[in-house]
Amino acid sequence: MKLHTVTGLMDAEDVGCTMIHEHLILNLTTVRGDQDSALSKDDVIDDMSLLKEHGCNLIVEVSNMGMGRQPLGLVELARRTDIAVIASTGFYKECHYPPHVFTSTAETLAEIFIRDIAEGMDGTAVRAGLIAEIGSSLNEVTAAEQTVFHAAALAHLATGAPISTHCEIGTMGREQLKLFDRFGVDPGRISFGHQDLNLDMEEQLELLESGAYIQFDTIGKQAYRPDADRTMNLAALLEKGYVEQLMLSCDITRKSHLTRNGGYGYIYLFRHFIPRLKELGVTDEMLHRMLTVNPRTFLSF
């Protein structure tokens, strides 16, 4: 089994620490209405490079169509930093959909996803290695979003590529799971995003009990939830024995998040969050599982 990066196949045993849900090249300025919500390769390269000292050699880039995806830019970043990058195919959530999504069938959209994985994205030979971040809106999965979830399922079944989702403020994971079950997707090939923002631990446990992965992937976004709460929540899930299904990241989406601009940056995970976990008794073995073993297993196909 191999991981499919923007510069080619990667052996699973070569994977080091992995950030499972990030943005490197992104443009959400139109929907968000600000200029902070755009990232270019020149914006992020210094922050990316800081990760090497902590053994991070893989970043999963979940920006998809309609989010400013730039395959060739990701290739350049990977080569300049010597950090592997996995790119994504898919559509985000309804407010970011290109117009054609609303008039397309699941089968038509799936053909686009499959082409991105098998041939290349946006007219290039750079292939996607993940179906992500397939999103739902706050407290609902709209009709158009259900079509995209169906398309993601069809593309997964055709290619074997794993699926990573966006749960807006941690909501609708249970409903996403039901959709994927209806469409015949093995939960073990799904990772539910932003579960560190889900205050319903019972729902987190339902997702884990299905065999799916969940992501604590907005680490450092203290305005959403204090990291002290995140660490306690994560430690509780580890105590219950789910170390093999948890993965970590920061979900950087703004220029102001970057260390070069006074923000916390991608490096926050390693410099600040992981030391807090260790203070709670999280072991190096557990961290290795969440940062290296789980990502390499989930992303291989």
Q: Where are the domains of the chain?
A: 2-299
pLDDT at residue 207, rounded to an integer:
98
Under CATH, what is the fold of the domain 2-299? TIM Barrel (3.20.20)
Is 8 a residue whose pLDDT tops 90?
A: yes
The number of C-alpha atoms within 13 Å of 229 and in the hemisphere containing its C-beta is: 14
Is 209 a residue whose pLDDT tops 90?
A: yes
- 266, 269, 265, 214: which is closest to 240 by C-alpha? 214
Tokens standing for 255? Answer: 């220029």
User: Model confidence over 228-253: pLDDT tens digits?
Assistant: 999 999 999 999 999 999 999 999 99
Q: What is the mean pLDDT of the chain?
A: 98
Mean pLDDT of 170-188: 98
Tokens standing for 18? Answer: 């992995």
Contacts of 210 (CB under 8 A, 6+ apart): 177, 187
Q: Are 3 and 129 in contact (CB under 8 A)?
A: yes
Q: Are 263 and 257 in contact (CB under 8 A)?
A: yes
The proportion of the chain whose per-residue pLDDT surpasses 70, expressed as a percent, equals 100
Burial tier of 284 (Cβ tally within 10 Å: 0-12, 13-18, 19+): exposed
**Distance (Å) of CA 268 to CA 59, 182, 196, 249, 264:** 14, 38, 16, 9, 6
- 113, 109, 110, 174: which is closest to 141 by C-alpha? 174
pLDDT at residue 244, rounded to an integer:
98
- 70, 75, 5: which is closest to 38 by C-alpha? 70
User: Model confidence over 13-70: pLDDT tens digits?
Assistant: 999 999 999 999 999 999 899 999 999 999 999 999 999 999 999 999 999 999 999 9
pLDDT at residue 273, rounded to an integer:
98
pLDDT at residue 10, rounded to an integer:
98
Tokens standing for 195? Answer: 């579960």
Is 1 a residue whose pLDDT tops 90?
A: no
In sequence order, what are the beta bridge partners of 216?
248
User: N- to C-terminal Cα distance for the chain?
Assistant: 5
Tokens standing for 76? Answer: 């350049």
Model pTM score: 0.97
In sequence order, what are the beta bridge partners of 167?
136
